[in-house]
Amino acid sequence: MILQIFLDGNDIKLTIRNGRKIIAESSWNGEYSLGEQLLPKIDGLLKKNKLSKQDITKVVPKISKISGVTSSRIVQTVAKAWNCLDDYGN
């Protein structure tokens, strides 16, 4: 399954996909709090849908041009870290 993190300005949307099928979605307005909310929101979405972190094989960031630099870096860092851990089998 793939976790997509959409960042459009202050609007954040998480989507878990299995192929083309959307398994779960969550969205919120994260103005000034993305760094505090992103990981707990991902964890909550996984728990709500009875999925484990190991079920997510890849995290894909989708960032619009109107998004702030700091928010963009937070999303990119979470995606890179998650994908790196998966590469090492953790």
**Tens-place pLDDT, residues 11-70:** 999 999 998 999 999 999 877 788 888 999 999 999 999 999 889 999 999 998 888 888
Give the position of tokens 């094989």.
57
Query: What's residue 79's pLDDT?
Result: 92
The strands making up 21-29's β-sheet, listed across from edge to edge, are 21-29, 11-18, 2-8, 58-63
Q: How confident is the model at residue 71 (pLDDT cuts 50, 70, 90)?
A: confident
Complete domains list, the chain, with CATH: 2-87 (3.30.420.40)
Residue 88 has pLDDT above 60, yes or no: no
Q: Are 15 and 3 in contact (CB under 8 A)?
A: yes
